[in-house]
Chain A
Amino acid sequence: MSTVLEKFKKYRKPGYYDKFDYHWTMSIDLDRCTGCEACVVACQAENNLPIVGEQQFAMRREMKWIRIERYWEGEYPNIKLQFIPMLCQQCDQAPCEIACPVFATYHNQDGLNTQVYNRCIGTRTCAVYCPYEVRFFNWFTYEWDEPLEQQLNPDVTVREKGVMEKCTFCIQRIRQAKDAAKDDGRRRVRDGEVTPACVQSCPTEAMVFGDLNDPDSRVSKMARNPRGYHVLEELNTTPSIVYLKRVHTDG
């Protein structure tokens, strides 16, 4: 009986793993974010995101794996503008993962919430279940006009109509770093060896990426910052992205 219970508990764990090999985490310091959207452009270039065009954009079908959410606080003239970069939170208790009938989205050994495009049948349930609205559906097969198709990233799949996609934490870069670490005879990737496109492009270094399992990594230190919080923490999705609260000089 107890073994059955143990098995069940193990089954309940995200991704069936007792412990992640890596626990890729990102911290975003909102005090440093200027809302320049360099990350948005970098992500678009790195991950072969289609440009959907004006009409589709107006229909809210744009593809932005990372977006800068703008919130205005207060009334004019005492008005404040807040930015929150919003991307897939790679939740450990991801609502999207239980929803997929075919395991097109699942938790992998690195603590990543992965999306398998080839497996996706397009029920779009994951996007409904996602509280952060960071899943994007390919309403059409998008095409790149010449010569734009020349700049597509060869390391990343171009998605066809009818599949869901979302931020992968630039899994192609994580793979490369892990391969390089293996080739060097090291077992683990060193801190700072992996930088997703958005982190790399951030001019104010508001974003830090790394392994939370390593207590000395930069991101672990950031995550211990008293300013740290998770967006929509009350939903118990245990996101992997730590936001550092903005400090207002006027209290």
Chain B
Amino acid sequence: MADYIEPTYAEVNKDVLRAMMETGPKYWATLGTSITVAAVCFFIPWFYQLEVGVGAAGMNRSAVWGTYLSNFIFWIGLSHSGTLLSAVLHITNSSWRKAIYRSAEAMTLFSLITAALFVMVHLGRVWFVHWTIPVPNQMGLWPNFRSPLMFDVMAIATYLTASSIFIYMGSVPDFAAVRDASSGLRRKLYTIFSFGWRGTAREWHTLGWAYTFFAVLVIPLAVSVHSIVSWDFAMSLVPGLHHTVFAPYFVTGAIFSGTAGIVTVMFLLRKYMNFERYIREIHLVNLGKLLVLLSLIWTYINIMEVFTTWFSGSSYELEALEWRLTGFYAPMFWEMILFCAVVPLLILFKRIRTSWKSMLIISILINIGMISERFIIVATSQPRKFLPNAFGFYFPSIVEISITIGSFAVFTTLFLIFVKWVPAVSLYEVKETLKPLRRSS
């Protein structure tokens, strides 16, 4: 952009901290709405379900997994881009990441929390969920480490811990900046948050070293988490799930939907928190290119999945495939292909790639497609297993639909609280990208 004027160091601080500290009525209205929606659509139906039993949902025999699990995969997937993208781009020294990585990492954290909530919602007896944690106990009982669900508990707990530390560590100098710019209680709080950061050379050195170390650590974690989520499905015998391609399929899909999620969040941050000077066209274009690449990989894996199913010649697999492609949920399947394989190709056109509005629409469409993908995986495989006598059908109940909608409000609420507590754009890393010439102006 020709008319772009780089901000000075002071302006960076001012812009970002203003967005954090000055809270208008619009923010309170949004927060109030999202808390209300989260309570009404998510928590009240969930408590009702806890009271009567999981029968409040639409699941039945042969389709004992439903929307809760498909949403769980979706949210885990959405969590992928953030930390992974931030870490990969940090290691590859891509400086354009610096303005967006904080909010991307926050997205990771909050979608992981939402995903974990869905596990709770899914369980029949959630009040015993601690039994999945290997804690020595009087009964001498231990969780089953052969179970892919057990891997899942481990992987998600590790990922959640690592991502939290990753985002916190990267924010310490910014907490110090908040501390320096504020007074009173907030100053005291951020003194604690910033661990007494003074900005000495040694501190910067340690931070840089530790941050790179964590970035390297987080990448394999992110890949493993979604591979393991895919094994929950792939390790079963169920036709349509029992595929070796599932791990890369899930990981690709996860990064795909997560990257699209970042584009959506970027648009909103830019629009409503006035970050135009920091979140710029280069971010949009780069993420757009990434989306095209991921979409192509995703399409390839989808073709391979259908091909290997057909090539296996197994009657069970063919039956399940046929139902997926032409059965009740076929419109959803083809909608997914349209949104995730065809629509992203539009990004190849420069006019679309550089327009915020069109990218927002594409990113939302991609995530609608990804939600459908997860739903199709869950809802079209189990009702067509092996014995025709047990063939069934699954359709979500009103409770499930409500909880699904509510989960977005839960995520939004967490994110809205986040932007008022942590600078949503990394102050010190943005400053690193500025031209040294303007330092003193």
Within 8 A of B (CB), among A117-156: 119-125, 127-129, 131-133, 136-141
Within the complex, what minimum Cβ distance (angstroms) separates A95 from chain B?
Answer: 6
Is A100 in contact with chain B by the CB < 8 A criterion? yes
Residues of A within 8 A of B124 (CB): 120-124, 137-138, 161-164
CB neighbours of A231 from chain B (8 A)? 387
Q: Which of B34-42, B136-144, B201-209 contacts A (4 or more CB under 8 A)?
A: B136-144
Task: Determine whether A175 belongs to the interface, using a CB cutoff of 8 Å to chain B.
Answer: no
Residue among A67, A121, A235 facing the most chain B CB atoms (10 A cut-off):
A121
Which of A30-38, A56-64, A210-218 makes up part of the contact surface?
A: A56-64
Q: For B235, list chain A residues within 8 Å (CB).
A: 98-99, 129
The CA of A132 and the CA of B388, in the complex, are separated in Å by: 10
A179 to chain B, nearest CB (A): 24
B392 / chain A contacts, CB cutoff of 8 Å? 60
> Are A127 and B144 in contact, CB atoms less than 8 angstroms apart?
no
- List of A residues within 8 angstroms of B386 by Cβ: 131-133, 232, 235
Report chain A residues within 8 Å CB of B65.
124, 128
Q: Mark A65-96, 1 if CB is under 8 A from B, else 0.
A: 00101110000000000001010000000010
- Per-residue 0/1 for A86-115: is the Cβ within 8 Å of any B Cβ (1 yes, 0 no)? 100000000100111111000000000000
Contact string, B51-92, partner A, CB cutoff 8 A, digits 1/0?
011110011111011000000000000000000000000000
Contacts of A84 in B (CB 8 A): 389
- Neighbour of A60 across the interface among B62, B144, B149, CB < 8 A: B62
A235 touching B144, Cβ below 8 Å? no
Is B420's CB within 8 Å of the partner chain A? no
Residue interface bits B372-400, CB-to-A below 8 A is 1, else 0: 00000000001001111110110000000
With CB as the reference atom, state the residue of chain A lying closest to B389.
Answer: A69
Out of A59, A70, A162, name the residue touching B389 (CB < 8 Å). A70
Asked if B125 lies at the interface with its beta carbon under 8 angstroms from chain A, I say yes
Residues of A within 8 A of B141 (CB): 102-103, 119
Separation of A136 and B59 alpha carbons in the complex (Å):
12
Q: Taking the complex as formed, is B147 at the interface, i.e. its CB lies under 8 A from any CB of chain A?
A: yes
CB distance from A86 to the nearest CB of B (A): 7
User: Is B148 on the interface with A (CB-CB < 8 A)?
Assistant: yes
Q: Is the CB of B125 within 8 A of A101?
A: no
Select which of B54, B55, B64, B388 is within 8 A of A128 by beta carbon. B64
Interface residues on A, range: 35 or more
Q: Which residues of B contact A138 (CB under 8 A)?
A: 53, 124
Prevailing SS type, chain A contact patch: loop
Is B131 an interface residue, CB under 8 A from the partner? yes
Instruction: Decide: B53 and A101 in contact? CB cutoff 8 A.
Output: no
* Residues on A with beta carbons closer than 8 Å to the beta carbon of B123: 121-123, 162
Most buried by B among A60, A61, A138: A60
Question: CB distance B144 to A100 under 8 Å?
Answer: yes
Within 8 A of A (CB), among B122-169: 122-126, 128-129, 131-132, 141-144, 146-150, 153
- B408, chain A: closest CB distance, angstroms: 24
B183 at the interface (CB under 8 A from A): no
Flag if B53 contacts A129 (CB, 8 Å). no
Q: Inside 8 A of B54's CB, which chain A residues have their CB?
A: 122, 137, 139, 161-162
Q: Which residues of A contact B148 (CB under 8 A)?
A: 99
Q: Is the Cβ of B61 less than 8 Å from the Cβ of A120? A: no
Q: Does B237 contact A (CB under 8 A)?
A: yes
CB distance from B158 to the nearest CB of A (A): 16
A39 to chain B: closest CB distance in Å?
Answer: 16
Task: Say yes or no: A102 contacts B125, CB within 8 Å.
Answer: no
CA of A103 to CA of B131, assembled, Å = 10
Q: Complex formed: what's the CA distance from A59 to B394 in Å? A: 9
> Is B216 at the interface (CB under 8 A from chain A)?
no
Residues on B with C-beta less than 8 A from A161 are 52-55, 124-125
CB contact under 8 A between A56 and B389, given known A100-B147, A120-B124, A138-B124: no
Q: Which residues of A contact B385 (CB under 8 A)?
A: 131, 133
Whether the Cβ atoms of B53 and A141 lie closer than 8 Å is: yes
Q: With a CB–CB cut-off of 8 A, which chain A residues contact B126?
A: 121-122
B149 touches A123 (CB 8 A): yes
In the complex, chain A residues whose CB is within 8 Å of the CB of B244: none
Residues of A within 8 A of B393 (CB): 60
Cβ-defined contact, B144 with A129, below 8 A: no
A139 and B387 CA atoms in complex are apart in Å by 22
Kindly state the separation between the CA atoms of A245 and B149 in the bound complex, as whole angstroms: 38
Q: Does B330 interact with chain A (Cβ within 8 Å)? A: no
Contacts of A140 in B (CB 8 A): 52-53, 55
Chain B residues near A127 (CB-CB < 8 A)? 61, 64
Bound together, the chains give a CA A84 to CA B390 distance in angstroms of: 12
Q: A98-B235, A137-B61 are in contact. Are A71 and B132 (CB under 8 A)?
A: no
In the bound complex, do residue B237 and residue A59 qualify as a contact, i.e. CB atoms below 8 Å apart? no
A98 to chain B: closest residue by CB: B146
Contact of A98 among B142, B143, B147 (CB under 8 A): B147
9 smallest beta-carbon distances between A and B, as pairs: A122-B124, A139-B55, A162-B124, A161-B53, A133-B390, A69-B389, A162-B125, A140-B53, A101-B149
Binding site for A on B (CB under 8 A): 52-55, 58-62, 64-65, 122-126, 128-129, 131-132, 141-144, 146-150, 153, 232, 235-238, 382, 385-390, 392-393
Known: A69-B387, A99-B148, A103-B144; 17 extra A-B contacts, CB below 8 A, are A98-B235, A99-B235, A101-B149, A101-B153, A102-B141, A121-B124, A122-B126, A125-B232, A128-B236, A129-B237, A133-B389, A139-B59, A161-B124, A162-B54, A162-B123, A162-B125, A231-B387
8 contacts between A and B (CB under 8 A): A59-B60, A101-B150, A125-B149, A127-B61, A137-B59, A161-B52, A162-B53, A162-B125
